[in-house]
Structures are given as structure tokens and as C-alpha cells.
Amino acid sequence: MIDTQEPLAPLVDRPQSYEDLLARAGFVAPLDHEQHALKAVLADYHFQREVPCGLKGCRQPHNNGFLVITEDGVETNVGKDCGRSFFGDEVFSTVHAEYQRRRQRADLIARFRSLQAGADPIADRLKDVVFRAFGGKWVRKVESSMVKVLGPALLTSLEAAHLRRELVVSRSVERTEEEIQNVMALTPGLSRERAKYSTESIGTLEAMPWIGFDFTGRLLKRFVDALRSFETLDPEQLSTPKLRLLLKPFEELDAEVAAAEEAAASVLRFLSPDNLELVALWLPPHLQGSAEALREWAAGPKRAALLTGDPG
């Protein structure tokens, strides 16, 4: 089959300065738009300094615009709204939409290739977050040590408190007879039984994003496995929606690494003696039997061994 379609003008790398535009062989400014028919947009540009519009009837300074080519192969630059004003809404909209489609695809392919090229260092960085001292694997070790000694219900309750952001630890304090009289006088209808105790805040538990944080799933399965599957793919052969789908998770890569690092760092704060004592005081009624075991664990060799950070 003979391809009768006219070849599309190749996209141009985004110009970084006015000099990049002037250096192009076919670049003409000022250009009389009435003597040339617009063919295609070649690049968009975003300059710090204002540059003059290439159209003879305009010449207005602007920061954002397009490099365009006409049917007779001449190039010029137009401010972001000038193409529409001078060549007409319909003509410009058509070439601009075509440009957007091609540029987005080119950007996706470039992004895909950069992930292919950088796969090893990215995978190393992710594995490091999981396997290094005080990393994700170590967090699992801390978790299982606690479950072994204290049972799974403690972690479940702590996680629930973390998710509800109910981290304040308080205790009931018995009021003196004089205080009881005062409170009852100030709160009509309050029973003596209710007036007998006041609630006093004694501290706030460290946040616990580490409980149940899925280091393997969120870092290794999601990203490292994906990168491995990219190895044999040619992005030119993939549809634009498919490229978009494959690249989408990587928008969250840095945020996921930051979340994982914060989760791991939060364990050390959790393991501090002050915080563990607060946990012992915080224990809900059904877990109060664990307070002694928790204090022993906090003061004992098992917790001390964890503080080496050894993920082993």
C-alpha cells in the first residue's frame, strides 16, 4: 500500500530561548501572515524574558507562544493567542489540536524511554528503602516482634487510633471532696458519681503510619515489577492511552518513597521509652492485661535488639 498521506512536519524540541528560534534555518520574522498559509505548530515555548511576536501585524512582546511552520516551509513564532487571531480560529484550532496530540505522545514516549534507561537506579533506590537498616523489612520485624509478645489485637487497636487520629492519652483522676462540690455546683444535674473523676491529658502517642504499611506492594510490586516489564517494550509500538496507563503510577513514585521513608522513621519514634510508656497507659480496657508485658518488652533485650536496625 502506498502511503498517500503528506508527511507531518517533525516536532521540534521545545526552544529554550529566542536565540534558539533565530538560529533555525527557515525562521523568518517579521512574517506577513497574509502571504503564507499555516501548516503546523512545531513546538510550544515558555521564556523568562519577553520576545517579539514573529507576525508582521503584531510584534507584541510575550513570554509564551509557538514555533509554527507555513505550507511553503517558512517558520516563525507567534504569541499564544496570536495564531488564532491572525490565521483564524478554525485553522489554528486544527493545527493546535494536532500538535497537542503529537506532543503529548512524544512527551509520553520520552518519559517511557527515560524510565527504561533509568530503571536500575530507580529500582535500587526502591529496594534500598525496603532492605536497608531501619527500612521496610525492619519495620515488619518490629511488627512481628510486638505481635509475638503482645498479640495482634494491640496493633489493630493502635492502627485504629492512628487512622482516627485519636492519639491523646488521658487518665481519670479522682477529685477531692471540695472539687466534687465545686463541679456539682457549677454543673446543675451532674450526678455525684460523674463528678467524682476528672479526665486529664497526659500526652500524645506518636503517629503510626508504619502499622500495616505495605512496603513490598507499594514500592517493589508496583514500581520495580513494572520497570522490569518495560524492558522489552518499544514505546513507539504502544498506543497513547496504553502509554498513559503504564506511566500513571510513576507520577506517585516520589510521594510513595517519601511516605515509605516517613513510615519507617515513625517506628523509631514509636519505640522510644516515653512513647511506649504512653502506649501502656493508653491501652483500652480489653488490652489492659498486656500493660505489664508491654513494659517488660520495652525495657527488655528484644526491643534493644530491634534498635540496631538490622532488617535480617
Q: Min. distance of Cβ 81 from Zn ion in angstroms?
A: 8
- Smaller CB separation from Zn ion, 64 or 272: 64
Q: Are the beta carbons of 111 and 247 closer than 8 angstroms? A: yes
Nearer to Zn ion (CB atom), residue 51 or residue 219: 51
Tell me whether residue 39 or residue 62 sits nearer to Zn ion (CB atom): 62
Q: Note the Cα 240 to chain centre separation in Å.
A: 23
Share of the chain residues as helix, strand and coil, in percent rounded to the nearest 5: 55, 15, 30
CB closer to Zn ion out of 79 and 135 = 79
Q: Which residues contact 34 (CB under 8 A, 6 or more apart)?
A: none
Residues lying near Zn ion in the complex (CB under 5 A) are found at 53, 58, 60, 79, 82
Q: CB of 30: closest distance to Zn ion in angstroms?
A: 10
Determine the residue with CB nearest Zn ion. Answer: 53
Least distance from Zn ion to the Cβ atom of residue 98, Å: 21
In the complex, the smallest distance separating the C-beta of residue 132 from Zn ion, rounded to whole angstroms, is 55
CB atoms within 10 A of CB 269: 14
The Cα-based distances of 33 to 48, 88, 94, 181, 235 in angstroms read 26, 11, 17, 91, 37
Q: How far is the CB of 27 from Zn ion (least distance, A)?
A: 15
HSE-up (13 A, CA, CB side) for residue 16: 0
Residue 80 or 244 having the CB closest to Zn ion: 80
Among the listed residues 214, 215, 216, 250, the one whose alpha carbon sits nearest the alpha carbon of residue 230: 250
- Cβ 33 to Zn ion, closest distance in Å? 10
Contacts of 33 (CB under 8 A, 6+ apart): 55, 56, 57, 86, 87
Nearer to Zn ion, 82 or 283 (CB): 82
Residue number with CB closer to Zn ion (29 or 283): 29
Q: Could you identify the residue written with the cell 489540536?
A: 97
Question: C-beta of 65: minimal distance to Zn ion in Å?
Answer: 8
CB neighbours of 253 closer than 8 A, spacing ≥ 6? Answer: 122, 223
CB contact burial 151-172 (16+ within 10 A = b; e otherwise): eeebbebbeebbeeeebebeee
Give the nearest distance from C-beta 124 to Zn ion in angstroms: 49
Q: How far is CA 88 from CA 18, 68, 81, 94, in A?
A: 25, 14, 11, 10
| Complex with Zn ion: residue 86 or 297, whichever CB lies closer | 86
C-alpha closest to that of 267 among 159, 130, 142: 142
